[in-house]
Chains A and B, each alone.
Chain A
Amino acid sequence: MGKILIRGAKVLGGEPQDVLIDGESIAEVGTGIEAGDAQVIEADGKILLPGLVDLHTHLREPGREDSETVLTGTRAAAVGGYTSVHAMANTFPVADTAGVVEQVWRLGKESGYCDVQPVGAVTVGLEGKKLAELGAMHDSAANVRVFSDDGKCVDDAVIMRRALEYVKAFDGVVAQHAQEPRLTEGAQMNEGVVSAELGLGGWPAVAEESIIARDVLLAEHVGSRVHICHLSTAGSVEIIRWAKSRGIDVTAEVTPHHLLLTDELVRTYNPVYKVNPPLRTERDVMALREALADGTIDIVATDHAPHPHEDKDCEWGAAAMGMVGLETALSVIQHTMVDTGLLTWAQVADRMSVRPAAIGRLAGHGRPVSAGEPANLTLVDSAYRGPVDPAGFASRSRNTPYEGRELPGRVTHTFLRGRATVVDGKLA
């Protein structure tokens, strides 16, 4: 592997600098670096970020290879500027044993586009009844640190307590999908003005907030850390803010779509807007943006959820929940957070790379852009504007809510340990 010189890149949005990559690492950061025999990439004022890290990705393999595979999902991740993704456990079979997490981990190694860190299920079969072999998954080659029944809530308070306690032995974390099941039976969309009019089953904010309130108190009681997946309501933000002020070791994520879209879109009855947790109101969107800006919400996570066309090309009630997000995440964050002045690019690096890597205890990702660090990098053309065209996605699925919507920013290059996985916006 040779040398690559990225010339004139705004590192974390700062003044233009040159970054020399040698082999798998960053050799030098400065101005006027001699190219020598290095291949030169003229960054021309583009933004250089540490490679993005997603704590919440559905790669669907094993079991639903019709919607995504580890290979297609990591290709989509690379296009989106990611160098590491956490693969959620709700596959078929469920990633609740060392065997399954090792398989996913190995498929990630083979793909070569993006590191894949498997997430292990908290309970056997995601059924919420019996703890999965969390220690075995941690001790496996996959070295699992993040455990989640995502898609389902660990609703039994005792099981949740035990999981929170148990994973302390190996510095793990439970990522909770906060959804009180009884309050969301038959739920189809956010419960409020729009659901009342459309006659769709309501998904009350309290179904999310009550679980978060319980879990931060449990985490405090047993002295564990807890991570809350995809916050979607203003009330959830208030609870996290309160918990952090008490010193509870809680982290939280928000998805790009919850920072931009509202339940008004459901009036179209187009299932591309059907997602779990559901799209909420404008007030919630604004509270989530503010919380991501002030650090109450730690990270952006995509909840990339691919589905085959037929699962969205139907009536609302029959449709699957979820949206793809890897290839549009950074654009949505630029649109909602950077262009609005809520976050600097350095803070984007923090929310989309540094902190997710820290929560997942990933070594080698979310590192500073400086000499001696692994060359996991993303180059972003923030001046770009263009409509989202799902036909060009690297993901196997097309269920994006942004089709045709003009969004800013485009990842032109992604480097995984010095190797370009994306060049000029195309997979290398």
Chain B
Amino acid sequence: MKRHLISAADLSRDDAVLILDTAEEMARVADRPIKKLPTLRGRTVVNLFFEDSTRTRISFEAAAKRLSADVINFSAKGSSVSKGESLKDTALTLEAMGADAVVIRHHDSGAPHRLATSGWIGGSVINAGDGTHEHPTQALLDAFTMRRRLAGGEGDLNGRRITIVGDILHSRVARSNVHLLTTLGAEVTLVAPPTLVPVGVETWPCEVSYDLDAVLAKSDAVMMLRVQRERMNAAFFPTEREYARRYGLDGERMARMPEHAVVMHPGPMNRGMEITAEVADSPRCTAVEQVTNGVSIRMAVMYLLLGGNEPALSTPSTTSTTRTEESK
């Protein structure tokens, strides 16, 4: 059984579907008068956040608490020791306190991988977003949302056409989604100005387009990524307005999407930049639903990674990636 969730590429189709199915069960807990399961009673989950992220942190916190785990929030910002020393020393501290799982958000790509493979800690590591690398639970909650909206809430996403629009180069959400959605059978198209597409993207299992209008009509879901305004200063695009005109989703463009198609956004949204208020507030936009689903997904992941004898994640995936997670 897997002990860590570092990359969406580590999940097989069956792993992913099991997580989505488990999340459906977890979602039903939310409908009960007492929204709590005893599963992780006596276990300790640490939220280790080196980057500010209130939304993701409280989502994990709510998930762990609904599973009756003890939750410790550790904000590692502002430490005077060097970054390297602080990750290792912090890890050793958490290990000494008996953390069963560490949920880590870090500004450096690969930090969760190091935490899981360096021998510093023995518990499970869950990647809550690392640098510009991955954010696997975000991809899982996105897939969960799409499955509910487009596939009746069961099975995979076979044949669904998903378009991801925005700053692909710096997006951990995009990387995790490309891995997971293709594993689930979806056809993914990335849309961005060429400056925001990574060199090397040609090996990714997806299409790349520079023209949003060309792909809207054949999309079952359009996921708009947040574009940070500071990118403009690094000449990735000339002005905010030009970006919004060419790559922003407004009501007119949304009208050209198929009737069943949904608009997604991982949040927080830049209204007026990548998405207009009209689209963000329309019933086709799933942004708020995604937040709700995030708690169910994170419950499912923690349940499966820490659940002990209960039905859990299947054996490690056999994806071709070399990024395996070693058991210590």
Contacts and interface: CB of A to CB of B under 8 A. Distances in A.
A318 interface: yes
B277 interface: no
A197 B85 contact: no
Contacts of A199: 109, 130-134, 172, 175
A153 B118 CA distance: 34
B84 A313 contact: yes
B42 interface: no
B199 A315 contact: no
Interface residues of A, number: 28
Nearest to B106: A315
Interface in A195-210: 195-202, 204
A192 B132 CA distance: 15
Contact of A315 (B84, B172, B201): B84
Closest 5 CB pairs of A and B: A314-B84, A196-B200, A199-B133, A317-B108, A269-B110
A264 B203 CA distance: 14
Contacts, number: 94
B322 A316 contact: no
B200 A316 contact: no
A274 to B, nearest CB: 11
A202 B200 CA distance: 10
Interface string A235-275: 00000000000000000000000000000100111100000
Interface in A176-202: 188, 191-202
Given A193-B203, A198-B133, A199-B132, A310 B85 contact: yes
Interface string B294-327: 0000000000000000000000000001110000
B83 A196 contact: no
A195 B170 CA distance: 11
A311 interface: yes
A265 to B, nearest CB: 10
B87 A318 contact: yes
A319 interface: yes
A316 B203 contact: no
Interface in A262-300: 264, 267-270
A317 B85 contact: no
A353 to B, nearest CB: 38
A194 B109 contact: no
B109 A314 contact: no
Contact of B199 (A202, A270, A317, A319): A202
B323 A195 contact: no
B292 to A, nearest CB: 27
A193 to B, nearest CB: 4
Residue among A196, A310, A319 facing the most chain B CB atoms (10 A cut-off) = A196
A264 B200 contact: no
A188 B111 CA distance: 14
B104 to A, nearest CB: 10
Given A200-B110, A313-B88, A193 B82 contact: no
Contacts of B200: 191-197, 202
Interface in B112-161: 113-114, 117-118, 130-134
A315 B83 contact: yes
A269 B175 contact: no
Contacts of A202: 198-200
Interface in B203-226: 203-204
B256 interface: no
Interface of B: 82-85, 87-88, 106-111, 113-114, 117-118, 130-134, 172, 175, 198-204, 321-323
A8 to B, nearest CB: 46
B201 A196 contact: yes
B130 to A, nearest CB: 8
Contacts of B323: 267
A278 to B, nearest CB: 14
B49 to A, nearest CB: 15
11 contacts: A191-B199, A192-B199, A195-B199, A196-B203, A199-B175, A269-B117, A313-B84, A314-B84, A315-B83, A316-B108, A317-B131
Contacts of A268: 113, 117
Given A198-B133, A199-B131, A199-B133, A317 B109 contact: yes
A311 B84 contact: yes
Given A191-B200, A195-B198, A199-B175, A316 B109 contact: yes
A264 B320 CA distance: 13
Contacts of B88: 313-314
A314 B323 CA distance: 18
Residue among A197, A200, A319 facing the most chain B CB atoms (10 A cut-off) = A197
A268 B109 CA distance: 12
B128 to A, nearest CB: 15
Residue among A188, A200, A315, A317 facing the most chain B CB atoms (10 A cut-off) = A315
Contacts of B114: 269-270, 314-316
Given A314-B84, A315-B106, A315-B111, A197 B199 contact: no
Contacts of B85: 310, 314
Nearest to B118: A313
Contacts of A314: 82-85, 87-88, 114
